[in-house]
Amino acid sequence: MEVKIEELSKVFRSHKGSHMTAVDRMSFTIPDGKLVGLLGPSGCGKSTTLYMIAGLHKPTGGHIYFGEEEVTNVPPENRGIGLVFQNYALYPHFTVQQNITFPLDNVRLPGAYGNEQDAVRSAKDALSELSLKIRRDRMALGKYEKMEGEGTLATEEEIESLRNDLESKKAALDEERDVYSIKAKAASERRRERLHRKHVASAEKDVLRGEKTLLVLEKEHADERDIELTKEDNARRQAALDKVRSEHEALERNAQEAENAYAELKARSPEQASGKAYRLALKAFKEAGKKLRSRERPVRELARIREEAPLDEERKTELEARLHEAEEALEAAKAAFEELKKSNPRQAKIANKKRLSQSEKTAIAHEMAKIVDIEPYLARKPKELSGGQQQRVAIARALAKKPSVLLLDEPLSNLDARLRLQTREEIKRIQRSTGITTVFVTHDQEEAMSISDVIVVMKLGIIQQIGKPQDVYDEPANLFVAKFLGSPAINVFDGEIKDGKLYLNGVLFDEDECYGKPYRKTVYDGKALTLDDVAEKNVDAGVDIEENPEVALQTVPSHVEEVHDRPVKIAVRPEAFGLAAPAAKRGVVPVAVEMIQHIGRDISIVGEVKEQPGNGVKVIIPSELREKVGGKEEIRLLAKRFYVFEEEGERIK
């Protein structure tokens, strides 16, 4: 059974009016017979998505399809799903067999002519819904045709005029926004300058500390080598201080220029500087849009009704014919059943059965227990089973009704490491043997990658990437995906794009055309809108810039900054390093070694990127290279494969 999700959203609202968007316009397709893993940290919306597929949560928006049938509003018991909860939810006073057969106690069979009755009911419901639509459209058609006859319906010329008016209002709004953004830019530049002032103070303290250390060493007539090393350190500290002072001077100039521009604006036009002109332009823009919608809607609706009316009548005729056929089939089935009752009462009783017999339920329990390999334990109580066995009982219970879709909500989180490994292999085996479309929710990336055919990486209700596990690992869409997948985690350190080239600690690291492209950074009220901001959902009611980035241009001043030279993040997987040759110049990462661990066939090197305190590095290389790295305090590593990301998370290379 293929499962298709279209624009699915879920917003939880409190009685105080605040809201939290758990899932935001999610769209993806789960192929028939595949195991799809929903992967992400706690709070990303994995379980909420699963419960919407199951029908336990009603979506705020969007659609869910099982095959060609939409099940968005279908009750959970009618969706044909099996659900395994995180805590197993077994009945402690039942045996394993009773736990497996419990869902079967509520199974209702169609009986002698139940399918025909369902077909009649379905046709009546569809016909009733269509008839209601036709009646509503006819009422609206009379209203709009009356407006057309009275000449109060908007003409194409009037609508075009209103659209032009809206465009002019938008142009005026854009102009006022650009002017008012001068204030935000001034505040932003001054904040950057103040923040950088702390870096200058820190660098100055480092220089003073080094000078004091040198004085003490000279006073105590310390070893000449120690004094020379201290002088070298002091020279490096002084160079770093000179660099941050130079950067601070540039920031101070930028801040002063922005503040001067804002002062000129205040002197020239206080209304624009205070934002009053912007707010008036925004109000005019909204009113123009409202007027256009109110005048355009009747014209649009009239055209729609006239276009759909003949199609609806055709559809109504088809549904009436379908209902007639279904009613005839029902009458025929009833007549056949009455004949069977007269000729063979015993067979008629079997044909009209509404529940499964005890022997049938027992047979299903044995069949499911055999699939999950717990047949010897059918007479035991849950407390007499291990955690892994209890989990398999829960899976067998979910499979007992032969569902079209199997849903697993973090089924391995309560197991120890050994059982988790064993049970996830069992889940994959069961899924392959049954061929059931399965959705598996987990926050453990190793679990998701090991058993999933496709993984969906989520963060705060937003899909970050969809693909085969290895493809997502090899080609992460952004920094979040790169950091979330992989064990040990990917190494991330600071780089810089300057003059269209990538540098690490001021040394050329890589050249590529992609570094020459400018980065368009949108700034709202002095605050850069990052990927985290867009995904952030825990907000109060009302319009919020981070909650609703698409309306940000109509709510606050903003401007786009094209940045060429900028800091970036370089990311390298632990296994993607090698030892750099002495002549190597590109892609070289100097690492200060803290620890070398021998782990069988591999060596794990733990350290820090030189000149980047806090940016730890973990490297895995073959054990054959142990003699080349043993006893060294610093090594040069070659990044054989690396990724480059903006600081906000977008991938550059």
Identify whether residues 191 and 275 lie together within a single domain.
yes
Separation of CA 353 from chain center: 47
* DSSP character at residue 502: E
Identify whether residues 489 and 606 lie together within a single domain.
yes
Measured CA to CA in angstroms, residue 57 lies from 23, 53, 69, 310, 407 at distances of 12, 8, 18, 37, 14
Q: Does 412 fall in a domain? A: no
In the structure encoding, which two tokens stand for residue 418, read together?
């050994």
pLDDT, position 132: 93
Q: Does 510 fall in a domain? A: no
pLDDT, position 524: 56
Q: Does 520 fall in a domain? A: no
Identify whether residues 631 and 572 lie together within a single domain.
yes
Q: What is the pLDDT of residues 265-318, one digit of tens each?
A: 888 888 888 888 888 988 999 999 899 989 999 999 999 999 999 999 999 999
User: Dihedral of CA 247/252/258/260: which sign?
Assistant: negative
Cα(311)–Cα(305) distance, integer angstroms? 10
CATH code for the domain in which residue 65 is found: 3.40.50.300
pLDDT, position 16: 62
**3-state class percentages of the chain: helix first, strand second, coil last, to nearest 5:** 55, 20, 25
Identify whether residues 631 and 490 lie together within a single domain.
yes
Identify whether residues 69 and 86 lie together within a single domain.
no
Exposure string over 509-542, b if 16+ CB within 10 A, otherwise e: bbeeeebeeebebebbbbbebbbebbbbbebeee
C-alpha dihedral (603, 608, 609, 614), degrees to nearest 10: 150
Identify whether residues 317 and 434 lie together within a single domain.
no
Identify whether residues 572 and 488 lie together within a single domain.
yes
Q: State the residue range of the domain holding 236.
A: 179-283
Q: Does 530 fall in a domain? A: no
Q: Is 561 helix (H, G, I), strand (E, B) or coil?
A: strand
CATH code for the domain in which residue 632 is found: 2.40.50.140
The last residue of a domain, from among 283, 304, 328: 283
Q: Does 11 fall in a domain? A: yes
Q: Does 517 fall in a domain? A: no
Domain count, the chain: 5
Q: Does 608 fall in a domain? A: yes
Strands 558-563 and 519-524: antiparallel
In the structure encoding, which two tokens stand for residue 467, read together?
């693909």
pLDDT, position 131: 92
540: which residues sit within 8 A by CB, 6+ positions away? 17, 18
Q: What is the pLDDT of residues 15-54, one digit of tens each?
A: 666 678 889 889 999 999 999 999 998 888 899 999 999 9
Cα(403)–Cα(547) distance, integer angstroms? 37
Identify whether residues 593 and 486 lie together within a single domain.
yes
Identify whether residues 91 and 60 lie together within a single domain.
no
Identify whether residues 130 and 275 lie together within a single domain.
no
CA angle 190, 195, 198 (to 5 degrees): 130
| Predicted TM-score (pTM) of this structure | 0.64
**What's the count of helices (H) and strands (E) in the chain, helices before strands?**
16, 24
Identify whether residues 101 and 118 lie together within a single domain.
no
Answer yes or no: are the C-beta atoms of 97 and 377 closer than 8 Å. no
Backbone φ and ψ for 517, nearest 5 degrees, come out as: -80, 135
Separation of CA 541 from chain center: 22
Q: Within the chain, which residues score under 70 in pLDDT?
A: 15-18, 522-559
pLDDT, position 114: 79
547: which residues sit within 8 A by CB, 6+ positions away? 21, 536, 537, 539
In the structure encoding, which two tokens stand for residue 637, read together?
């590593």
Backbone φ and ψ for 153, nearest 5 degrees, come out as: -75, 140
Q: Does 194 fall in a domain? A: yes
Cα(350)–Cα(362) distance, integer angstroms? 18
Where would I find the beta strands (DSSP E) of 501-650? 501-504, 507-511, 519-524, 527-528, 538-539, 558-563, 566-572, 577-579, 588-599, 602-609, 616-622, 634-639, 643-646
Q: Is 525 helix (H, G, I), strand (E, B) or coil?
A: coil
Identify whether residues 466 and 488 lie together within a single domain.
no
The last residue of a domain, from among 301, 323, 344: 344
